[in-house]
A and B are shown apart, each in its own frame.
Chain A
Amino acid sequence: MSETPRPELIPIVFVPVIPIPGFLTGEVQSKLAYVDEAIAGARVESDKITLFLQPSAAPAGALLPERRAEVEEKVQRVVLSMARGAIQPKAQVLEDHLHRPVAYRKDPMIELLNRGEVSREGTGIYSLGPLLTRLINFFELQFLALAESFGAAPHRFPTLISARMLERVRYFSAFPHSLSFVTHLREDLDAIDQFAQSAACDEHGLNTPPESFSRIQALLSPAVCYHLYFSLADKPLPGGKVIATAVGSCFRYEAINLVSLERLWNFTMREVIFVGPKEFVLDNRETGRQRMARFFEQIGLAYRVESANDPFFIGEFRKQAAFQSAFQLKFEIRASLPFKDSTLAVGSYNYHQDFFGRNLNITLPDGSPAHTGCVAFGLERMAFAFLAQFGLDPAGWPQLVQEAMQ
């Protein structure tokens, strides 16, 4: 969540119901985006929470005590749920190249917008121009080469994903906050006529009454590899081992956390996916990491590979994040963003144990559930981090990239 308050916002400050461990303050802060529509920004410290509320939270010019209490109570619930009994994650750094020299220190987003290379269509929705598109194509070729080095079979997956299948892998309880639902007008002449005649859109969205829309059967896909697991469900794994690759649009709603190309509602992910016995998956995940390290060295990218956890929602965060950390299931490739002295996850190396094999009944020849893992790259983030380190002028780019782009 953005820490930068706008002047017209209403700040409120209070003490968390229990102290928030330092390793959790960022996670708690990011979750506050989903707590109340009035929250426009937040700053979370161990012993102090500052919220910035929308002016609309105080329609009469002053924030009502009951409204303040309501927001504060919800925030305290988040604090309790995430911080009580929290287990410090095991920090493991597999590669550290963050101090590689970089030539650029400005925020590329400003220049990209000025040049028309990026155009904003809505919150978290951007169109990309030729410079970014060519750069993304270059990275795609590298990721495809990685996939080919494994002999990965190419797949194409839909943008929509079945609600029923997401339920089977318990996505709704783990990541409810980031789901994007798909609906259509009900098969009802009156509802369709009514929509055709009176549909209008204001700053809050369409004015169509909710009862005109169908029940939810599909969502916008939050990840690529799920589709492969669904296609393998309820049968023995062919040959006992599968390596596949696919690229696809992914959707994760992140409320006011949606900022620039760093955090998009609609982004593109390339994955190389491994399904089979445990050692097969872990060995390939590690091989993938080593091969990518060679590429990142060639282009001089400043980055680090470190243990991480998925952004589980509040109810499951404490347990799931601790479990992922303890078993070292996820490592992120975090590229340097010199303009803000920070890093951005541009990819990850993941191992799911037999979670998908068990829940989707994907079996190995001995009847045991298959293990799964993947290496995944966010294409827009990869290109954005590259521009943040090397600038928009191709003359300043690494030789390898310049030559490939010609």
Chain B
Amino acid sequence: MDVEQKELSERVQALLVEALQVPLEVVTPDLSFGDLPQWDSMGHMEVMMRLEERFGVEINADTIATLTSVPQICAYLKENNRV
């Protein structure tokens, strides 16, 4: 993982900490939906809303189902030139 990727991953992890209201130490670079009790359906939608606000990406029914891990979210942000 290069520096740029690492920075992006850390920004996404920080967003997860806020959205899921969990300590930073439980949010790992490969965390996925369902790995934490807080990352459930409601938690996931909180993450989606914050991604939309923070990065200005479009969140729709298709993206909701695919952005289910830190690496997937990072890849989506990068593809959409939001970093």
A residues lining the B interface (CB < 8 Å)? 85, 87-90, 316, 318-320, 322-328, 353-355, 358
Contacts and interface: CB of A to CB of B under 8 A. Distances in A.
Contact of B61 (A87, A354, A355, A358): A87
Contacts of B60: 87-88, 90
Contacts of B24: none
Contacts of B64: 87, 322-323, 326-327
Q: Closest 10 interchain pairs by CB? A: A326-B64, A90-B61, A319-B45, A326-B65, A323-B41, A326-B61, A325-B61, A327-B65, A323-B45, A319-B42
A81 to B, nearest CB: 13
Nearest to A324: B41
Interface centre among B40, B52, B59 (most CB of A within 10 A): B40
B40 A319 contact: no
B70 to A, nearest CB: 18
B10 interface: no
Contacts of B48: 322
Contacts of B44: 323
B34 A354 contact: yes
Contact of A319 (B41, B62, B65): B41
Majority-rule SS of A interface residues: helix
Nearest to B44: A323
A217 B61 CA distance: 38
Nearest to A325: B61
Interface string B14-57: 00000000000000000000100100111011101100100000
Contacts of B62: 90, 326
B32 to A, nearest CB: 12
Given A90-B61, A327-B65, A355-B40, A319 B46 contact: yes
Given A322-B64, A326-B65, A87 B40 contact: no
A88 B46 CA distance: 16
28 contacts: A85-B49, A85-B52, A87-B61, A87-B64, A90-B61, A316-B42, A318-B45, A319-B41, A319-B42, A319-B46, A320-B41, A320-B42, A322-B45, A322-B48, A322-B61, A322-B64, A323-B41, A325-B61, A326-B61, A326-B62, A326-B64, A327-B65, A328-B65, A353-B34, A353-B41, A354-B34, A355-B41, A358-B40
Contacts of B41: 319-320, 323-324, 353, 355
B16 to A, nearest CB: 16
Contacts of A358: 34, 37, 40
Nearest to A318: B45
A88 B49 CA distance: 14
B61 to A, nearest CB: 4
Interface centre among B49, B59, B61, B64 (most CB of A within 10 A): B61
A361 to B, nearest CB: 11
Nearest to B52: A85
B42 A89 contact: no
A88 B61 contact: yes
Contacts of A355: 40-41
A88 to B, nearest CB: 7
